[in-house]
Amino acid sequence: MISENDIIYEDNHIIVVNKKSGILSQSNGTDDADILTMIKNYLKVKYDKKGNVYLGLVHRLDRMVSGVMVFAKTSKAASRISKQIRDGQFHKEYMCICSGKFDKDSDTIKNYLIKDEKKLMSFVDDSNHGKEAILEYNVLKYDKINDVSLLRVKLYTGRFHQIRCQLANISHPIVGDIKYNGVKYKSRVLLHSYKISFLHPTKKTKMEFTVNFDKNILDEFNF
């Protein structure tokens, strides 16, 4: 179940939550927990709704990724936020812990990615025939003892597994991301949705929400 502590903001049009690692964004047909169903159940109980609860999924986080997400409580809100995403007006920033020390404290990475539907992975296409993927990273700290770096990543495109694939491609896979050659870390990937910003679907005011990385993890890696 989702709790009040997981709810960051709510009004008649949107609800913003902190998704925990290990929870799906939406059901995959199994009995595994998914945040979309959890919020629907939360709203059904909170407002004593008798019928179905509408909740629009406008963006996703991978199962093992944590952090801030926004959901639409009306179809109009879902349509307007989705349009912002398509038009590049919905901004996302992440934090992650990667293997190794970076040569540059900041850089922009541009690749062309191809999604392998069978493996559910993305690959860099050096012939530039895939979909353009652009991100910007800034190294916040380096932990010499564990040889890992804490990054803030700003996405300019939203490709499948984009951050995971692009960082692995420059030999700095995210810790815990064994799918992209990262070292194993318990049962999660150390990638976190840190900040989202967008225009409110009806008020048109700028909305910005941040959720810090798990302090216990940062302490463990001397960050």
Q: pLDDT band for position 29 (50/70/90)?
A: confident
Q: What is the token pair recorded at 63?
A: 């199962």
- The one-letter amino acid at 91: H
Q: Where are the domains of the chain?
A: 4-220
Q: What are phi and psi of 202, to 5 degrees?
A: -120, -40
pLDDT(174) > 90: yes
Q: Confidence band (pLDDT; 50, 70, 90) for 210? A: very high
pLDDT mean over 47-69: 93
Q: Please enumerate in sequence order all residues whose Cβ is within 8 A of that of 200, keeping only pairs 6 or more positions apart, or say none.
A: 13, 14, 206, 207
Whether residue 2 is predicted with pLDDT greater than 90 in this model: the reply is: no
H or E element in which residue 186 lies: none
Q: Which two tokens stand for residue 210?
A: 């941040």
Answer whether residue 21 shows pLDDT above 80. yes
For 74, the token pair is: 């009306």
Tens digits of residue pLDDT in 76-130: 999 999 999 999 999 999 999 999 999 999 999 999 999 999 999 999 998 878 9
Q: Name the CATH superfamily, with its identifier, for domain 4-220.
A: Pseudouridine synthase (3.30.2350.10)
Distance CA 126, CA 147 (A): 29
Whether the pLDDT of residue 141 is over 90: the answer is: yes
DSSP classification of residue 54: P
Report the 10 Å Cβ neighbour count for 116: 10
